[in-house]
Amino acid sequence: LAVEITGNLRLIIWVAFLLEVLRSAANAITNKRIFLFSYAAIFTLFVISIGVEVFGRINDIDAPHIFTYLYDLLLVTFGLILTEQLYRNTAQDKRWSIKFLCISVGLMFAYDLYMYSHATLFEGIDRSLWNARGYVNMVIMPLLAVSIARNPTWSFRMFVSRQVVFYSTGLIAIGIYMTLMAIGGYYVQIFGGEWGQEAQVVFLVGAIIILFVIMSSGALRAKARMFMSKHFYENKYDYREEWMGFVQKLSHIDSPRYLKEQILQTVAMIMHSRGSILYLRNEEKYQCVSAWNTDYCEQSFDVNSSLAEFLNNREWIIDVNEYRTHPENYDGFDLPEEFYAINAWLIVPLKHYYELIGFIILLEPFVKMQINWEDRDLLKAIGKQVSSYVAFMMASDSLAEAEKFSAFNRLSAYVVHDMKNSVAQLDLIVKNADRHKDNPEFIADSFMTVANVVDRMKRMLNQFKRMDMHKSEACRVDVNNVLRRIETKCADGKPQPRIQLLEAPVYVYVEADRFENVIEHMVSNAQDATSDDGRIEIRVLGKNNEVCIEIEDTGCGMTSEFISNHLFKPFDTTKGNAGMGVGVFEANEFVKYYGGQLNVKSEPGVGTTFSILLPIYNEEVSFESKAG
């Protein structure tokens, strides 16, 4: 019964389709009552035929089958008449568009007419005719496809999501693949001789493994999505789905520390890129702060570089492949050679209001593709959204840093109070020394007081280790003498530093005490990070008009991510409660204040090298011209 109902519904749908096409094909038939009467008659007869069929099955009567066949004959005949009327009432110059439709549908109805006529005469459907019916319908499909292509107005306003199409197509492909493998396994069993059964099992298991490998291939999935977007949809992207998915992924991040990596991963997956790199502005440079599925880039770019100015002024999506073939399209822009080495593909600017806060580098995609205006528009919209997230993250970091400085100031007030108490205790000893210096009890109590003060000062120094908040006046400082004193101070620690000085004295114009504290702090950090059997070397090199102080250790080293995001930030330390995390920050600020630069190179498990570059002191050149 279910087969007969679905077969009748199939014929009804085709008849209804022909009625609608006929009504819009020409003005020869304009009476809507005819169409309404036709629909009503078809539906009524359908209900009657189903009712008679159900009645016959309940009462075990075979005769009602004839009525169902007669109803099918009526529908088929009506369909042939509609096909003929459609061709007749279509204008002569437009018949080319419905020619293949009339041929294919007419052939389908003619075959059904013969089949149901045969069933009416012999009181049953011939199985061979019924089985061949599917192949007949398959033969007419190309003709229907041509007709649909020639008549785009026949499209229905029905939305099928890309996900449904993608997974449905995938299931169909899997079904075809498994069918072919089953056929192959069948022939393996036939021609395998004595080992047929075992060979068939091995063959099918291998086929399943290959299927899983293909299904897990990112490149193949990207090609499939690209093919369907190009050939099945008017637009390349489902913008609503892409936008909602992008915002949802960024809105469900538990910690801001994962925001940058999630941004890179999401943008790369939208464009089917193999990896991505994020550059953000840090003072006067754009530095790599995060990377997904690739290595960090040590190359930085000045804010006045051609790359930064081009992205800031044009706000273009830079296509590296297009730049290679048509560099004239990017007038005034020189692509850095480093981008070729990392297989860069697209560069997306991140502009917040009127400022370029960074850019994203997308690496080569899984499948070769040419980007068009849809790709560029989508990336520009995503770039605007990412800029808002990044700007908010940077503002949050600045606010958190300000709050930490406020807490630091409050802590300083407690330290000052503690120091005043210590000074008062020592002052009391000094005042009573002349009067009780010969009293053994006074001397014993004095030593206990001094020991207590020393312990208290050590605790404070552990928190503010080698920090001098007071800024003295700058003067000429001999670098060699400073390093000799630091070598003596740090000789008790392990490993002991070894220094290599220049033969002639070299001078810099800095605050002497702070300069010595900065170098001593960095050497102490190197000792903390290096095992006792390691090595620490301090070298002084002359470079043009600059002196370079290198502090190299063979300690645990640091990752590129830690150097970019944590090393030069205050209160961000790996020592836990043992440190305040302001030493390197203070050193960097000190060096920059006097016109120098602090660089670091490190590799986990190998070691770290800090390089301090400062202008060599020249009495003929004022300090302002150096430090300004």
Average pLDDT (545-562) is 90
Mean pLDDT score, 432-446: 83
- Report whether pLDDT(356) > 90: yes
Q: pLDDT class for 615, splitting at 50, 70, 90?
A: very high
Pair 355, 326: CB distance under 8 Å: no
Average pLDDT, the chain: 76
pLDDT beyond 50 at 79: yes
Contact indicator for 582, 513 with CB cutoff of 8 Å: no
3-state secondary structure of 177: helix
Q: Which residues contact 504 (CB under 8 A, 6 or more apart)?
A: none
What average pLDDT score do residues 541-550 get? 87
Mean per-residue pLDDT, 6-24: 75
Name, of 234-243, 587-596, 617-626, the range with top average pLDDT: 587-596
554, two tokens: 């063979």
| 152 vs 376, residue with greater confidence | 376
What is the pLDDT, as a whole number, of residue 187?
66
pLDDT for the residue 57: 58
Supply the pLDDT for residue 159: 44
How far apart, in Å, are the Cα atoms of 556 and each of 526, 527, 529, 571, 607? 10, 11, 6, 21, 6
Task: Give whichever of 15-24, 244-253, 499-508 has the largest mean pLDDT.
Answer: 499-508
Lowest mean pLDDT among 464-468, 597-601, 606-610: 464-468
pLDDT of residue 625: 34
Q: How far is CA 123 from CA 67, 119, 556, in A?
A: 10, 5, 91
Q: Which pLDDT does position 147 carry in this prediction? A: 76
Give me the residue label for tokens 């399943």.
Answer: 208
Tell me the mean pLDDT in the region 607-611.
Answer: 92
- pLDDT tens-place string over residues 170-188: 666 666 766 677 666 666 6
Radius of gyration of the chain (CA): 42
**Per-position b or e across 156-173, b if 16+ CB within 10 A of its CB:** eeeeeebeeebeeeeeee
The CA distance from 336 to 245, in Å, is 33
**Residue 134 confidence (pLDDT):** 80
- Residue 66: pLDDT band (50, 70, 90) is low
Whether the predicted pLDDT of 231 surpasses 80: no
Q: Is the pLDDT of residue 288 over 60?
A: yes
Q: Average of pLDDT values for 391-398?
A: 80
Q: Is residue 145 scored above 50 in pLDDT?
A: yes
503 burial type by CB count under 10 A (0-12 exposed, 13-18 middle, 19+ buried): exposed
In angstroms, rounded to a whole number, what is the distance separating the alpha carbons of residues 138 and 142? 8
Helix axes 64-88, 2-25, angle to 10 degrees: 20
**From CA 52, how far away is CA 533, in angstroms rounded?**
99
For residues 460 and 482, the model is more confident at: 482
**pLDDT the model gives residue 537:** 92
Q: Is the pLDDT of residue 206 over 70?
A: yes
Is the pLDDT at 229 greater than 60, yes or no?
no
Residue 466: pLDDT band with limits 50, 70, 90:
very low
pLDDT confidence of 586, banded at 50, 70, 90? confident
Whole-number pLDDT of residue 89:
74
Q: Are 523 and 497 in contact (CB under 8 A)?
A: yes
**Interval 296-326: pLDDT, tens:** 888 889 988 888 989 988 888 999 988 888 8
Amino acid at 512: A
Comparing 337 with 278, the larger pLDDT belongs to 278
Q: pLDDT band at 577, cuts 50/70/90?
A: very low
Element (H, E) at 281: strand 276-282
pLDDT at position 27 over 60: no
Q: Give the DSSP per-residue string, 72-139.
A: HHHHHHHHHHHHHHHHHTS-GGGHHHHHHHHHHHHHHHHHHHHHHHHHHHHTS--HHHHHHHHHHHHH
* Beta carbons within 8 Å of 620's beta carbon, 6+ residues apart: none
Of the pLDDT bands very low, low, confident and very high (cuts 50, 70, 90), residue 197 is: low
Looking at residue 421, what is its pLDDT?
Answer: 62
**Mind giving me the DSSP string for 540-580?**
EEEETTEEEEEEEE-SS---HHHIIIIITSTT--SSGGG--
Query: What 8-state DSSP symbol labels residue 532?
Result: T
Residue 336: what are its φ and ψ, rounded to 5°? -60, 140
Spell out the long-range contacts of 27-34 with Cβ–Cβ below 8 A and sequence spacing 24 or more.
Answer: 28/89, 29/85, 29/89
pLDDT band at 538 (very low <50, low <70, confident <90, very high): very high
CB atoms < 10 A from the CB of 266, how many? 19
User: Is 365:345 a contact under the CB 8 Å cutoff?
Assistant: yes
CA distance 129 to 115: 6
- Which pLDDT does position 402 carry in this prediction? 72
